[in-house]
């Protein structure tokens, strides 16, 4: 995660949010900042939060991420764990008692929280900076190549000290779905074929490269590769099929 919510190049991974007492102001309204955040894939720079609400939510998500990694890598005594659980249960109750919004479409309806693409950038389970289960993946388009980076901590362990294969497949599904931008024809996953070449190490900066293979009618085929320290650990091909009626969440992937 980035160290600060600021519109500059940031290293992706499991870095922590620090310096919140000195964080930059985000007093502009959502309406005024939308045009600056319409395309989160325009560059490697991590799109900043569009309002104070999302700055705060990113902070909460990062704290939960830290807690999750601490849980799977620590062994406090039993009484201490029960005490921690009691505090967390109280915190969870505070969240449950606040206004609830179910689903990204519902978040977008009022326009107060951002548009659908912006909300997905925050809440997507693979790329959402405000979703604690996301690594998250940072993705962007570089000419005719899609690129991405992410880092998976101990919470994503499958084989010893390696990323779970299901997590790798999920990362590819999200990344190749974004790679469709190169064809300008958004679609839903038809198939995903993953090849695992070597174990993918945890706590390591992973780089992703994606390419458009071809577009046939409503079908788009993309391919991608994952690297750790310059070594290819996995590769993938995905077929995506454009629905006859394009969902709102895919319209930002269309050609203008």
Q: What is the pLDDT of residue 51?
A: 94
CA triplet 205, 207, 208: central angle to 5 degrees? 150
CB distance 135 to 171 below 8 Å: yes
**137-253 topology per CATH:** Thiol Ester Dehydrase; Chain A (3.10.129)
Please state, in angstroms and rounded to a whole number, the distance separating the CA atoms of residues 9 and 2: 9
Element (H, E) at 22: none
Strands (E) in the chain, as ranges, are 138-142, 145-150, 188-196, 206-216, 219-228, 231-241
Q: How remote is the C-alpha of 35 from its chain's centroid?
A: 21
Q: What is the pTM of this model?
A: 0.81
Domain residue spans in the chain? Answer: 1-136, 137-253
73-110 burial: b if 16+ Cβ within 10 Å, else e: eeeeeeeeeeeeeeeeeeeeeeeeeeeeeeebeebbee
For the chain, 256 residues long, the average pLDDT of each consecutive 10-residue run is 33 33 38 48 80 96 97 96 97 94 91 91 95 96 96 97 98 96 91 98 98 95 98 98 75 58
Sequence-ordered list of residues with C-beta below 8 angstroms from that of 84, at least 6 positions apart, any chain = 76
Q: What is the pLDDT of residue 46?
A: 82
Q: What is the pLDDT of residue 252?
A: 58
Q: What is the pLDDT of residue 162?
A: 98
Beta strands 138-142 and 231-241 are unpaired
Q: What is the pLDDT of residue 17?
A: 33
């Amino acid at each position: 995660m980035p160290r600060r919510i600021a519109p500059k190049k940031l290293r992706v991974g499991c870095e922590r949010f620090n310096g919140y007492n000195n964080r930059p102001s985000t007093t502009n309204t959502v309406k005024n900042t939308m045009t600056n955040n319409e395309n989160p894939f325009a560059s490697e720079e991590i799109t900043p939060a569009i309002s104070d609400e999302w700055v705060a939510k990113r902070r909460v998500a990062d704290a939960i991420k830290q807690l999750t990694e601490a849980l799977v890598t620590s062994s406090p005594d039993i009484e201490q764990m029960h005490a921690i659980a009691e505090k967390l249960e109280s915190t969870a109750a505070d969240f449950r008692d606040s206004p609830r919004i179910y689903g990204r479409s519902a978040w977008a309806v009022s326009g107060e929280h951002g548009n659908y693409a912006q909300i997905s950038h925050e809440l997507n389970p693979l790329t959402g900076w405000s979703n604690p289960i996301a690594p998250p993946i940072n993705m962007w388009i570089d000419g005719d190549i899609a690129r991405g980076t992410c880092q998976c901590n101990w919470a994503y362990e499958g084989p010893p000290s390696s990323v779970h294969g299901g997590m790798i497949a999920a990362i590819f599904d999200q990344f190749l779905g974004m790679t469709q931008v190169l064809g300008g024809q958004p679609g839903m996953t038809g198939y995903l074929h993953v090849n695992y070449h070597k174990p993918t190490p945890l706590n390591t900066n992973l780089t992703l490269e994606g390419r458009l293979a071809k577009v046939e009618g409503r079908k788009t085929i993309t391919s991608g590769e994952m690297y750790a320290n310059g070594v290819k650990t996995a590769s993938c091909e995905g077929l995506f099929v454009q629905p006859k009626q394009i969902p709102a969440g895919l319209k930002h992937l269309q050609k203008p």
